[in-house]
Amino acid sequence: MIRLTLPALAEAERPFVTRLRIDPNADTDIRDSLLVNEEAAGASFSGARGLIAIDGATGRELDGDVILVQPAPGRVERLLRAGSRTNSLLVTERCDQLCVMCSQPPKKTHVDRFALLEQACLLAPPGMLIGISGGEPTLYKEQLFDMVERVLAARDDLAFHILTNAQHFTVEDAERLRSPLYARTSWGIPLYATDAGLHDRIVGKAGAFDRLERSLATLILAGARVELRTVLVSANLHELPALARYVAARLRFVEAWSIMQLEHIGFAKGRWHALHVDHRRDFAPIAAALDQASLHGIRAQLFNFPRCTVPPAYRSMAIASISDWKRKYMPGCAACREQGQCSGFFEWHPDADAEASVTPL
């Protein structure tokens, strides 16, 4: 697992954002910190805000990374890693839903870091797709929109993918979201069932389904780009074909529909046996949903489904969905021809279960 937080010492007193560089001749920026020293324990960089000594990574590994330096707790957060295609910024840990399988259970408090995150985005490597997640980012809708718009206006090479529960879009937002800037923003939105009661129970909020439909109507009228996400749990497995018909009838505008296998972390870890579906045993409802979506030209994809656990006809839909820093493969995977296209397993997935399920292709 690649560590996203590293212990560090810094001269500065207040948190700041900087980009790490090892080559002084590279195209540099006033906000950069240049490598000044490297030793076994780590690397030191120097910039306008003074020295930073980072433990546990080499200069080369850190080159190009945009980091948030936090002097008081003595650490740096690697916000945007230059070598990764999947970077995600957490804008808040608060959320107004409480999903039964939440991988990152929300907290009550909010630390406003928008200004720092915006600086980080402006330093992002060229062409990066920046993920934004939470908590629920649209709880701070105004700040979020402001940040997205300012960054996209300043950098025409960047794009955002924002995970949101879509409980807070209003009709009035449509006008703003029609701005051409949002052509480079897509929204990842969860929907678990067509039955409002079931969806509400899964997300732990009464009225959530109804509110979600209203937001989706706004997003259609705004011409927004939406990726629909459905985490598979035992309660919605047999609802998937109906959900597929619903998507075809009402949500044809989505760019993609991702059906996601459960992540063994957060709430799901403690409730694994109640929630987890072994799709190898009962793939039929998933297959029916994928057929229905494909029939209507909706791009369906499977997230977190190791390819060898998916029937051959549907295998091309199982994509390498797990970010590099939290992904692992089993020893058996080394012999597999499809590892490059395979999601693998979450770092925190129980080895015994993973080991038992791989059959190299």
Residue reference for tokens 């732990």? 204
- What's the CA gap between 166 and 276, in Å, rounded? 25
Beta strands 16-21 and 32-39, pairing class: parallel
- Dihedral angle at the C-alpha atoms of 202, 86, 134, 10, nearest 10 degrees? 150
Question: Measured from the CB atom, is 185 or 343 closer to ligand SF4?
Answer: 343
Report the residue from 66, 336, 346, 349 that binds ligand SF4 according to the rule CB under 6 A: 336
Binding track over 261-300 against other proteins, x by CB under 8 A: --------------------------xx-xxx-xxxx---
Rounded to a whole number of angstroms, the minimum distance from the CB of residue 166 to other proteins is: 11
Report the residue from 34, 267, 332, 348 that binds ligand SF4 according to the rule CB under 6 A: 332
For residue 83, the partner it binds in ligand SF4, other proteins, none, with Cβ less than 5 to 8 A by kind, is none
Is 245 a binding residue for other proteins by CB under 8 A? The answer is: yes
Using CB under 8 A as the binding criterion, the count of chain residues that bind other proteins stands at 27
Rounded to a whole number of angstroms, the minimum distance from the CB of residue 318 to ligand SF4 is: 8
Q: What share of the chain is helix, strand, coil (3-state, %, to 5)?
A: 35, 25, 40
Beta strands 327-328 and 345-346, pairing class: antiparallel
Binding track over 166-205 against other proteins, x by CB under 8 A: ----------------------------------------
Residue 244 burial (C-beta neighbours within 10 Å; 0-12, 13-18, 19+): buried
- What's phi and psi for 282, nearest 5 deg? -135, 75
**Those residues with Cβ within 8 angstroms of residue 196's Cβ, 6 or more apart along the chain or in another chain:** 209, 210
Binding track over 309-348 against other proteins, x by CB under 8 A: ----xx-xx-------------------------------
261 and 302 in contact (C-beta within 8 Å)?
yes
| Site stretch for ligand SF4 (CB under 6 A), options 113-121, 184-192, 233-241, 301-309 | 301-309
Report the residue from 306, 314, 317, 326 that binds ligand SF4 according to the rule CB under 6 A: 306
Helix 208-221 and helix 196-203: axis angle, to 10°? 100
Question: Measured from the CB atom, is 55 or 291 closer to other proteins?
Answer: 291
Residues that bind other proteins (CB under 8 A): 213-214, 216-218, 220-221, 245-246, 249-253, 287-288, 290-292, 294-297, 313-314, 316-317
